[in-house]
Amino acid sequence: MQTESLFENLTTANIITSIVDLLIVWYVLYLLLTVLKGTKAIQLIKGIIFILVGRALSNFFNLTTTTEIFDTVLEWGFLAIIVIFQPEFRRALEQLGRGSLFRSNSTNGAGEHDKLREAMIKAIRYMAKRRIGALIVFEKDTGLKEYSETGIPIDANITSELLINIFIPNTPLHDGAMIISGDKIDTAASYLPLSESNKIAKSLGTRHRAAVGISEVTDAFTVVVSEETGNISVTYSGKLFKEISLDELDDLFKKHWTMLPPAKEGGGFFARK
């Protein structure tokens, strides 16, 4: 009798309402992930998932103290998230107002990687020989959106001529960092956080300190061409490696500069942003 009563209550209107309700919830989650993708906040989501799994396991095995610790972290953690990631939430509302959440860009296949590396090596060789200072950041898993937004949007294909022209002294875009996202020049003249490490030699300038700084807070790979000596340096994992040869740089590009797979037709969350 209870089963029959249940089916009687499942009217067409109720079914449609439930489906719409689920679709709205999933769509809101989709928009949230779309906004956070390309920022450091996406790493935070992985941490939250870890805490939720840990809380469930500790509760399952009756680990009282551990469960209380997880509950405390969850209770106060969300308040801390709102404070720490206030810029991301503000940007989300701005993008929603502009309708920019639905935009996506295409990317070339991985077969172009060799040509792009050759163009990059050619430009860096030219700048190093003539002591043209340059700071180039390559985005990896941790998004650099909050830093690219401080610069001038370029969104251009990578060519050696364009790379050189951007860093020519006394031009509007030469000062600051160029950010490479996938196979595109994302922005130029972007501001990066400066490292406060005492291990950086006093003889090195702002470019090197900014390169180390971005490698301390993200997993980005950065190339620096010294304006004083023409030497090539790279940073990753919070470490600075000086006087890199072009052959060594090419090997590092193969390791750290990976082209993303082609965007799916129609874009979406898993399309290249």
Please tell me the predicted confidence (pLDDT) of residue 40.
Answer: 59
Q: Estimate to the nearest angstrom the gap between the alpha carbon of 150 and the chain centroid.
A: 14
Q: Indicate whether 223 pLDDT > 70.
A: yes
Please state, in angstroms and as integers, the Cα–Cα distance from residue 43 to each residue in 36, 57, 68, 140, 215, following that order.
9, 22, 24, 13, 15
**pLDDT tens track for 6-65:** 455 557 777 788 788 888 888 877 776 666 665 556 666 777 788 888 888 888 888 888
Compute the mean pLDDT over every residue in the chain, rounded to the nearest whole number: 80
**What DSSP element (H or E) covers 252?**
helix 246-256
Please tell me the predicted confidence (pLDDT) of residue 95.
Answer: 57
Rounded Cα gap, residues 173 and 167, in angstroms: 7
Q: Indicate whether 258 pLDDT > 80.
A: no
**pLDDT tens track for 128-162:** 999 999 999 999 888 898 899 999 999 999 999 99
Q: How many contiguous H segments (helices) and E segments (strands) does the chain have?
A: 10, 7
CATH architecture label of 111-256? 3-Layer(aba) Sandwich (3.40)
| 245: exposed, middle or buried (Cβ count in 10 Å: 0-12, 13-18, 19+) | exposed
- Do the beta carbons of residue 233 and residue 211 sit within 8 Å? yes
Rounded Cα gap, residues 214 and 201, in angstroms: 17
Both tokens of 116, joined, read: 């792009």
In angstroms, the first-to-last Cα distance of the chain is 54
Q: Indicate whether 101 pLDDT > 90.
A: no
pTM of the model as a whole: 0.61
Q: Indicate whether 270 pLDDT > 90.
A: no
Instruction: Find all residues with CB under 8 Å of 66, minimum gap 6, and list them.
Output: 54, 58
Q: What mean pLDDT is predicted for residues 233-241?
A: 93
Domain residue spans of the chain: 2-102, 111-256
Q: Indicate whether 210 pLDDT > 90.
A: yes
Q: Indicate whether 271 pLDDT > 60.
A: no
Q: What mean pLDDT is predicted for residues 232-259?
A: 91
3-state secondary structure of 243: coil
